[in-house]
Amino acid sequence: MTRINTNVSSIIAQRVLNQNTNALGTSLERLSTGLRINRGADDPAGLIASEALRAEITSTGAAIGNAERADQVLNIAEGGLQEISSLLEELQGLVTSTANTAGLSLEEKEANQLQIDSILQTIDRLADSTSFQGAKLLNGRLEYTTSGVSANVNNFDVRGAKLGFQQQIDVEVIVTQSAQRGALYISAGASPITFPTGNGPLVIEVAGAKGSREFSFASGTTLGDIRDAINTFSSVTGTRAATSGATGLRLESTDYGDDEYVSVTIVSDGGFDDGGNLRGIYNYTANQNDTANAATQQDFASVNAANGIRDAGQDVGAAINGVVASSDGTTARINTDFLNVEVDLTYDPAAGSANAAILGNLTAFTITGGGADFQLAGDVNISGKESLGIPEFSTSRVGRKTIDVNGTSQTNTLADLSGANALNVVDGNLQGAQEIVDQAIREVATLRGRLGAFQVNTVGSTIRSLGISLENTTAAESVIRDADFAGETAALTRGQVLTQSATQVLTIANSTPQNALTLLG
């Protein structure tokens, strides 16, 4: 080539040198930053995938932090509940020791009452002071708020409910099977009972879910006396009695449910079948009224120690929000991913709508808000959070129980053990006081178990699962975005060689036009 105005070889060498220089610069950038993708132009599709994975990594890391924070919150709540549990056990001991009335002076009883008052005040103080960063945990702040509670609901407990933004949940109950007590009907010809001459007494064994007791009745004992004798030991046997007109006696279990029953065994019939006036023992009819079911009648002489007559109760059957509920007595409960509730239905055969005694539908109550929400997933939606309710643990709320005192029902709480209230230990109902303390201990233990299960099975497993997810997502993002140092080092070496070669070639190409000077002589 003898043209000097256009050096094509130099242009080619310049283009190649620029390409090699750019490739060398890219390798140097990747090696210096450690990233294969530094800008969208490096890999548009890879950048999009990488940014999505980075966002997921960030949200997953935040979810792990949330789970760890939830664990800390529950640890603090558990600490407060553990101390309340210890106080309740001490309270149990004081009630039991004060019941030893023959061995205690009035001053000692009053001293025990002062201790009980102090314990109750401490429980209230713990309920109000247990907090995490100033947020109260046991004062009812984390309890679910409800409205529209049906008159056919005796009590309820919302343990967990996932609510969306400004969402409410109606708790719909369908009663499919009525709750029943174990019940027997003793039919007598008259009151008082009488024996043929030279016979008697009547000895029967009455048994229930709590235990059994043997009773002996002489000629001339009225049905009212028999009723009172049986009711004296209701707390021992778990059965109670009531007269029905002038000739009948009803025996019932004190509670409802499959575990409850009434059993009567004749130890000695006293000769009633020899012309006496006691006709037989029957099961109630299905609706548990005073009508005897003749198909189940057993003559007194056949109800002996070998084959007494027994009738068991029945749990309520129900579905809550379309889910078949497990039940115990008049209480139905469900535990799903979105709703964990327990509903104790009233038992009122005269009611106009469904309850534990009547089949049908009812809206038990509406959950309007509240509860403790823990965001345990990267996606902020209803399936990414876990919710639970922590009830108020003041003495006015804990241990709520209906106590039967001589046929009269009254509802009490732990607060009724203080001062001059009905369950004080100086002159109050000590048996009722112990029942309330027992109920409070069960409530605290149940909540501690529920919180512990949430920590282990939900929070703990979530932390482990999110940790694995974070590792895998980070690895995937690294594959897309991070530089392969082995490959980039090789590319750098290649770029260096090619750049040096292109530079040398460009030098040669630029000197080629000088050959034309030889033609000028």
Q: Which amino acid is at 150?
A: S
- In this structure, of 194-208, 333-347, 358-372, the range with the lowest mean pLDDT score is 194-208
* Residue 48 neighbours by CB under 8 Å, 6+ apart: none
pLDDT-based confidence at residue 145 (cuts at 50, 70, 90): very high
Q: Give Cα 370 to chain centroid, integer Å.
A: 15
Q: What is each CA distance from 438 to 38, 96, 156, 188, in whole angstroms?
A: 67, 12, 19, 39
Q: Which of the listed ranges 26-35, 363-372, 414-423 does the model predict with the highest average pLDDT?
A: 363-372
- Here the tokens at position 360 are 């049908």
Torsion of CA 282, 283, 285, 289, to 10 degrees: 80
Round to whole Å and give the CA distance between 317 and 49: 53
Round to whole Å and give the CA distance between 354 and 333: 16
pLDDT-based confidence at residue 478 (cuts at 50, 70, 90): confident
**The residue to which tokens 């991913």 are assigned:** 337
For domain 46-143+376-482, give its CATH number from 1.20.120.1200, 1.20.1330.10, 1.10.357.10, 1.10.3720.10. 1.20.1330.10
Q: How many CB atoms lie within 10 A of CB 420?
A: 9
Round to whole Å and give the CA distance between 315 and 325: 11
Would you say how long the chain is, in residues? 521
Closest-CA residue to 440 (of 481, 394, 508): 394
pLDDT in tens, 112-130: 999 999 999 999 999 999 9
- CA geometry: angle 485, 488, 494, nearest 5 deg: 140
pLDDT-based confidence at residue 301 (cuts at 50, 70, 90): low
Round to whole Å and give the CA distance between 420 and 434: 16
Q: What is each CA distance from 9 to 3, 104, 495, in whole angstroms?
A: 11, 119, 21
Round to whole Å and give the CA distance between 341 and 409: 26
Maximum Cα–Cα distance across the chain = 168
Residue pair 217/193 in contact (Cβ under 8 Å)? The answer is yes
Q: Helix 44-98 vs helix 430-453: angle between axes, to the nearest 10 degrees?
A: 160
pLDDT in tens, 309-331: 888 899 999 999 999 999 999 99
pLDDT at 299: 53
pLDDT in tens, 36-64: 888 888 788 888 888 899 899 999 999 99
Q: Read off the pLDDT of each residue in 351-355 and give the average, rounded to a whole number.
A: 84
pLDDT at 198: 67
Q: Name the β-bridge partners of 262.
A: 208, 311
pLDDT-based confidence at residue 431 (cuts at 50, 70, 90): confident
Residue pair 137/130 in contact (Cβ under 8 Å)? The answer is yes
Q: Read off the pLDDT of each residue in 284-293 and give the average, rounded to a whole number.
A: 45
pLDDT at 71: 92
Q: Phi-psi category of 385—alpha, beta or left, where left has phi over 0 and alpha has psi -120 to 50?
A: beta
Asked if the bond preceding 192 is cis, omega within 30° of 0, the reply is yes
pLDDT at 193: 79
HSE-CB of 66 using CA atoms within 13 angstroms: 21
**The residue to which tokens 């070889």 are assigned:** 9
Q: Give Cα 327 to chain centroid, integer Å.
A: 15
Asked if the bond preceding 196 is cis, omega within 30° of 0, the reply is no
* Residue 76 neighbours by CB under 8 Å, 6+ apart: 130, 131, 132, 137
| Share of residues in the chain with pLDDT > 90 (%) | 41
